[in-house]
Structure 1
Amino acid sequence: MNIHITIVPLVSLLAGILILVMPRLLSFIIAIYLIAVGLIGLFGLGSLRLH
């Protein structure tokens, strides 16, 4: 059985957990998430898969 995990859902899950734990970090976490998604889109790392 192979499990394919992409990076964007992991980043969003981590961001969601951090927002629940520390709501004051909301804008900081959103900024980091948007930068990460933008870099992934620009450099084509969306096909990066962890096995």
Structure 2
Amino acid sequence: MTITVAHLQPIIAILAGILILVVPRLLNYIVAVYLIAAGVIGLGLFKHLS
């Protein structure tokens, strides 16, 4: 299985959810990183991954 840009958002969401459950104090940072990553992926700045 090849990982494409379409697979990155669900993987990031799962990892963020697990980290939030384990360390709730990190919620602000995890949400911020997730939003930045989703924006970068949405803009297509990782075209070489697809």
TM over 0.5: yes
Task: Give 1:26 deviation, angstroms.
Answer: 0.1
When the two chains are superposed, the root-mean-square deviation of aligned CA atoms in Å is: 2.0
Aligned position for 2:29: 28
Deviation at 1:44, TM superposition (A): 5.9
Structure 1 or 2: larger strand share?
Answer: 1
Structure-2 residue corresponding to 1:43: 44
Question: TM-score, normalised on structure 2?
Answer: 0.76
Unaligned runs of 5+ in 1: none
Aligned residues: 44
Compare CA radii of gyration and give the structure with the larger one. 1
Deviation >2 Å, runs of 4+: none
Q: TM-score, normalised by structure 1?
A: 0.75
Tell me, which stretches of 5 or more residues in structure 2 are unaligned? 1-5
